[in-house]
Copies of this chain bind each other. A is one copy, B any other.
Amino acid sequence: MKPDLSKNKTIGILGGGQLGRMLSSSASKLGFKSHIYDPQKGCPASQVSDLTTVASYEDIKALTNFAKSVDVVTYEFENIPTQALDVIENYVSIYPNRKALLTSQDRLTEKQFLNNIGLNTAPFVNVETDAELKNAINKIGSDSILKTRRFGYDGKGQARLNSKTNLVDILLSFQGQPCILEGLINFDQEISVIGARDQHGSISCYDPGENIHQNGILRTTIVPARINKKIATDAIIITGKILNALDYIGTIGVELFVKDNKLIVNEIAPRVHNSGHWTQNGCVIDQFEQHVRAITGLPLGDGNRHSNVKMTNLLGDDILNLEQLLNARNSAVHLYGKKDIKSDRKMGHVNQLY
């Protein structure tokens, strides 16, 4: 089912945070309206969109009305309840597809998928009990990370293990959630590729960015990444492979580790991605517009990079330095319209050309 989208049609977006906000702004550049669905009133995306539905993801009536009012549906986060998607799919197409969502929602499924298409991941073992954790450590080693299979983000739902870790305490803290134990990769670099695939199967990938995390949260992306050309090309080929294997439509974020000149896929995000924000000021077509083009049946745009960019997230109090940020040379500040500053909350980002 291909949506008949022409000018002035409406894109439904599940989730009204900063990603939904920037998707909505990009949709408007191409003449589309947006309808945001979010449980929270006054969410960042609602401020820049034509319509907003404030309702929970369990509200079948609201979901039905939302689905009927739009021409295609997309989302800004991967943990949308299955039931909500079932309701929406009765009326309108959802892009990226369910397979992409199911694959990336669960770290076990995701890693199995990646291995099945011949891509490297960190070693991993499924863990649900005390005994399984002990066996997993025997197999992978104590230098490892226990991660919940679902709902983790920005370093949440993760615990770094070592030889002194009290395993009982750790498992208790995870409250019986299914987990995987991942072998720790002492990577040389973390990079990511933002790719997009349209409804004709054409693919466009941006140059890989190099990511620097702090406390599990993305702090900075530098483009170009400090990697050799072969690694950059390989990372793009891997992204293409993932996009094709998922029959994907839209923008994807693929995080990879570089270790001894080899690539290990860390995780995939079936949506626009924080590490792709640099494209807003480094390219003539950014990751948000690529996503909008793909899901509306339009051809992908030119993803060439015209500048080097350093993207820095503004977390919590960072935005109190706004005056200084606004005065910086070659810098564009992007704020998300969030009222309350919280520690480590993503309030905005800065793209500095260099």
Point out residues on A near B: beta carbons under 8 Å: 7-8, 21, 24-25, 28-33, 46-50, 281, 284-285, 289, 293, 298-299, 301-302, 304, 306-307, 319, 322-323, 326-339, 348, 351, 353
In the complex, are the beta carbons of B326 and A8 less than 8 A apart? no
A354 to chain B, nearest CB (A): 11
Q: Which residues of B contact A302 (CB under 8 A)?
A: 328-331
Report the bound CA distance from A281 to B285 in whole Å. Answer: 9
Given contacts A323-B299, A331-B284, A337-B28, A50 and B47 within 8 Å (CB-CB): yes
B284 close to A284 (CB less than 8 A): no
A33 in contact with B337 given A25-B48, A284-B332, A330-B284 (CB within 8 Å): yes
Cβ-defined contact, A28 with B48, below 8 A:
yes
Which residues of B are found within 8 Å of A306, using beta-carbon distances?
306-307, 353
Q: Which residue of B lies closest to A48 (CB)?
A: B28
A280 to chain B, nearest CB (A): 9
- Copies of this chain in its oligomeric complex: 2
* Interchain Cβ contacts under 8 Å between A and B, 16 examples: A7-B337, A7-B339, A21-B28, A25-B48, A31-B338, A32-B337, A281-B284, A284-B330, A289-B332, A293-B326, A298-B323, A299-B327, A301-B331, A302-B331, A304-B330, A306-B353
Q: How far is the CB of A348 from chain B (nearest CB, A)?
A: 7
Could you say which residues of chain B place their CB within 8 Å of the CB of A348?
31
* B326 A299 Cβ-Cβ under 8 A: yes
* Residue with the greatest number of chain B CB neighbours at <10 A, chosen from A298, A304, A307, A332: A332
Chain B residues within an 8 Å CB radius of A48: 24-25, 28, 48-50
* CB closest chain-B residue, reference A319: B7
Question: Which listed residue (B32, B284, B326, B337) contacts A298, Cβ 8 A?
Answer: B326
- Report B-chain residues with C-beta under 8 Å of the C-beta of A21: 28
Distance in Å: Cβ of A323 to nearest Cβ of chain B? 7
Q: How far is the CA of A330 from the CA of B353 in the complex (A)?
A: 18
Q: Which residue of B lies closest to A281 (CB)?
A: B284
Known contacts A29-B334, A30-B335, A301-B331; 20 further A-B pairs (Cβ under 8 A)? A7-B322, A7-B339, A21-B28, A24-B48, A25-B25, A25-B29, A30-B333, A31-B335, A31-B336, A31-B338, A31-B348, A32-B337, A33-B337, A284-B351, A299-B326, A301-B326, A302-B331, A304-B330, A306-B306, A306-B307
Bound Cα distance from A338 to B31, whole angstroms: 8
How near does chain B come to A52, taking the closest CB pair, in angstroms? 10
